[in-house]
Each structure stands twice: as C-alpha cells, then as structure tokens.
Amino acid sequence: MNKLKVTEISKRFEARKVFSKISFELETGQSLAVVGPNGSGKSTMLKVLLSLLRPSRGTVEFMQDGSPMSDGQIRSAVSFVAPYLNLYDHLTAEENLKFFSTVAGSNVTGKEINSLLAKVGLEGRGQDFVLGYSSGMKQRLKYAVALLNNPKYLFLDEPSSNLDEAGKNVVNDIVEEYRNESIIIIATNEKEEYSLAEQLCRVNG
Amino acid sequence: MPSSSAGLMGKSFAVYVKDLRLELRTRNALNAILMFGVTTLTVVSFSLGQSNLSPKLWAALFWVIIFFSAMSGLAQTFIREEETGTSLALRLTADPDSVYIGKLVFNLTLLSTLAIIITPLFFIFTDAPTGNILNFILVLILGVLGLCSATTIVAAIIAKASVKGALFAVLSFPILITLLMILVGATEKLFDGKMLADILTELQFLVAYVVIMVTASFLLFKFVWEE
C-alpha cells in the first residue's frame, strides 16, 4: 500500500504567492485532480509534489507500507507525463523506451516495448525517430515511457494535451487500468479530464 | 513489466551510450571541439610553426589549444539536456550518480578524440620537440582526465543559466588554472628532454587533482542536478 502525504505545502516565487497551506493524503486506489485557471499554479504544485521544486513551506512524503520511501524507491515508483517533459528527438521510440527503462533500473524486452507502443497507439512506429513524430504522437510516447515501471504514483499534467479523440481514449484507458493500483494526480482545467479523478483540489494562485 | 535490473554501472553505461548516440547523430559538441582545435592549431602552425620557440612556449601553446577546444564543447552534454527539455525526464528517472558517471565518461571520450587528432597534428605542423613520447602521453592522459573531471561538474552547474558559454569559462578558470600551470610545467620539462623521474611531483599533483575532483564532483553532483 502506497501513500502520498502532503502537509501544509506553500509555494512562493519571491513576492508572488502561488498557493499556500495545501494538505491532503492519498492512498493507492485514490485519485486527485488539481484544477484552476491558467497560471494558477497547477503545474507548479505537481513539480513541488515531484520534488522538482522545493516548497516554500510544508512537506511531501511518499510512503510504502507505512515507511517513508527512499529517493531511489520514489524514482522507480513515480511516473510523470506533461507537455513540457520532452523525450530524445534524435533517438527512436524504441531507443527512448530502452534508455528510460535501463536508467530506471530495469531491462525492458522487445516484446514488452511492442506491447507498450500498441497500448498507446504507436504500433509499427517504434523504429522511427521521435523527431519525426507529431506532437500527439510524442504525447502518446510519453505515456508509454510513463508505464515502463508500472507506476505506483502517476502524475499527469494536462493529460490530453495535443491528443486527438483516439489519444484521449488511450489516456482514459490508462487511468482506468491504473486506478486501483496507483495514486493518480491530474492537473488540468478541462472538465472531462478532472472528472477522471475522484477528489478535487482547487488552486487559485 | 520489465524483468531484470541494471546496477550503477549498467545505468551509467546507458547514459553514456545515449549521449554518444545523440552526439554521433547531431555532432554538436564534436564539431565545436574539433573546429576550434583545428582552427587554433592552424593559426599556431602558420604563425609559429617554424619558429625556434622555447619548450615552455610550445608546452603553453599545446595546452592552450586543448583547453579552449575543451571549453567550446564539454558543456554541451548538460546544455543539450536543458535546451531540449529532456533534463526533466532524466532527472525523474535516472539516479544522479549514473548521470554523472555517464556524462563524465562521455566528456572523456570527446576530449580523448580531440587529443588523439590534435596531438599528432601539433607535432607534424610545428617544430615543437617531442621529448619522450610515452611520458608525454602519460601527462596528456592525466591532463584530459583533469580537464574533464573539473569541467563536467561546472557544465552541470551552468546548464540552467542564460549566459552559459561565458559562465562556463568564468567558473572553470579558477578551478583549472592550477591544473593548466602544472600541465604546462610537466610538458615543458618533457619537451626539454627530461625524464619521468624529473616530473614526479607534477604527476603526483595531477593524480591527486583527478581523484579529488572526481570524488568531490561525485558527492556534490546530486545537489547540483536536483536543484
């Protein structure tokens, strides 16, 4: 059983307050949507939760069976998809998947790569350079990378960004598949996206 | 889904292979380093090639060429990650130790390639004395190790800054000045016909410099990378 315990986190950029004193606790099987208008601090909040930014105050704890997780455990349990998270354009999709799998400490097989690519609708495109992908295909590939480690924590920032209807269905299917075995946090201002989560956290920075 | 797991060396090797593959496909850093090296060597060769310079001057010229070529390309491995927006994915997935080792070895490969190309050309196109070539190669190897161990951590520090090039040189200079002086001193002695026993102090310094820089960088890299 995994847990994410957020205690009174606040974030300021010099004089500007982004959000303050946000607390929540999520367990495996629970999901949360972080909503708010553009520039309200949704992405900032996700970055704080992912330790990519330091909170001005408060703490974020990743726990497994009641014990705090180490940095390495967190890295292998967390996956993140965002429009501003880029993969390597000059590697093929397969090379990207193999690389991220290896540095995450595992070794994905060719069969598993094909299965992941099929899951996100990129079957037969594994040998293509990411440079030649459309923005929607790149977004789908990010999901394939995110699913490499069977994430226990799935962070999605604007999950349907750049995706067509079929791509949005892929996202819905992934969220449904991982709903019971992961903690899912979605940052969005699209109603159809935040309706994927059970709980809501509104930020108005 | 994935089955077996890779250790630190396997992960570092994956970072190294990824950077090497990207470099061979884009040639950003390699072109910068080689162009700078060849251009500087050409200028030195045409203007001073047949001059009867002292061993000290030849040694200084050689290391100036290597140093400025290194400055023009060794930061690319981190700058590329920041500029293409891939550092975020790498930071979230890879453990910092493997990123540091992979990038250090990649920079060693780049600078070794430069040294392998530039060094014979330097002796062919100038009248620089060769001295004992094996001893010179030993100093060269330690020099390349020293330059890479210092510049890799500096490259990680400056990668997020807006004026990367200038900052890279400014931050590297105080760390590298002692190394360069020792390298020039050791090379001068070798060009002057001295033997290995005459440069033992310099060799000890170079080995100590590399060990200290690699150890300190390895310990500090996590904080630089994750901030």
Among the listed residues B173, B151, B81, B6, the one whose alpha carbon sits nearest the alpha carbon of residue A102: B6
**B11 contacts chain A (CB < 8 A):** yes
CA distance, residue A110 to nearest chain B CA (Å)? 10
By the 8 A CB rule, do B189 and B198 touch?
yes
Q: Taking CA B225 as the corner, what is the angle to CA B100 and CA A101, rounded to the nearest 5 degrees?
A: 65
Residues of chain B with pLDDT under 50: 1-4
Query: Between A75, A80, A108, which is nearest B1 by CB?
Result: A108
Contact check, Cβ <8 Å, B25/A90: yes
B11 to A102: CB separation less than 8 angstroms, yes or no: yes
Nearest to A102 among B1, B6, B89 (CB): B6
Residue type for position B216: A
- pLDDT tens-digit series, residues B148-201: 999 999 999 998 887 777 788 888 889 999 999 999 999 999 999 998 899 999
A156 has a chain B CB within 8 A of its CB: no
The CA distance from B94 to the nearest CA of chain A, in Å, is 5
DSSP for B19-47, please give it: HHHHHHHH-HHHHHHHHHHHHHHHHHHHH
The whole-number pLDDT of residue B166 equals: 79
A31-35 and A57-64: which strand pairing?
unpaired
CB-closest option in A50, A101, A106 to B92:
A50
Domain, as residue range, for B141: 3-225
User: What is the DSSP-derived secondary structure letter of residue A41?
Assistant: S
With contacts defined as CB-CB under 8 Å, which chain B residues touch A106?
Answer: 1-6
Q: Which of A80, A88, A101, A116 is most worth mutating to test chain B (most B CB atoms within 10 A of its CB)?
A: A88
Amino acid type, B196 = L
Distance CA B55, CA B44 (A): 15
Q: Is A130 on the interface with B (CB under 8 A)?
A: no
Whether B1 contacts chain A with CB within 8 A: yes
Residues of A in contact with B26 (CB under 8 A): 90
DSSP H helix total and E strand total for chain A? 7, 9
Q: Residue A157 and residue B210: Cα distance in Å, rounded?
A: 43
pLDDT for B2 equals 45
CA nearest B27 in A: which residue? A90
Amino acid of residue B32: A
Distance from CA of A192 to the nearest CA of B (A): 26
Task: Check residue B5 and give its pLDDT.
Answer: 59
Contact with chain A for residue B5, Cβ under 8 A = yes
| pLDDT string in tens for chain A (205-residue length) | 999 999 999 999 888 888 889 999 999 999 999 998 888 889 999 999 999 999 999 999 999 998 999 998 999 999 999 999 999 999 999 999 999 999 998 889 999 999 999 999 999 999 999 999 999 999 999 999 999 989 999 999 999 998 999 999 999 999 999 999 999 999 998 888 878 888 999 887 6
Nearest by CB: A75 against B2, B22, B93: B93
Which whole-number Å values give the CA distances from B114 to B32, B87, B117, in the listed order? 11, 26, 5
Q: Which of B1, B21, B93 sits opposite A112 (nearest CB)?
A: B1
Question: Of the candidates B11, B15, B21, which has its C-beta nearest A105's C-beta?
Answer: B11
Contact B93 A103 (CB under 8 A): yes
Which tokens is A59 given? 């703490």
**Contact state of A86 with B88 under an 8 Å Cβ cutoff:** yes
CA distance A5 to chain B (A): 19
**ipTM of the prediction:** 0.90
Q: Which domain holds residue A181?
A: 2-203
Tell whether B197 lies on the interface with A, counting CB pairs under 8 A.
Answer: no
Look at chain B and report how many structural domains it folds into.
1
Instruction: Please name which of B132, B150, B149, B148 lies closest in space to residue B199, comparing C-alpha atoms.
Output: B132
| Contacts B95 to A, Cβ<8 Å | 71-72, 75, 103
Q: Indicate the residue type of A181.
A: E
Give which of A118, A121, A116, A76 is closest to A96, Cα–Cα.
A116
Shortest CB distance from B94 goes to which of A84, A103, A112? A103
Which residue is it, tokens 């060849």? B38
At B4 the pLDDT is 47
- Counted domains in chain A: 1
Look up the CATH number of the domain holding residue A28: 3.40.50.300
CB of A97 within 8 Å of any CB in chain B? Answer: no
Cβ–Cβ gap B89/A104 under 8 Å: no
Cβ–Cβ gap B91/A88 under 8 Å: no
Q: Which residues in chain B touch residue A50, judged by CB atoms under 8 angstroms apart? A: 92
Please tell me the predicted confidence (pLDDT) of residue B39. 92
d(CA A7, CA A168): 32
Say if residues B155 and B75 touch (Cβ distance below 8 Å).
Answer: yes
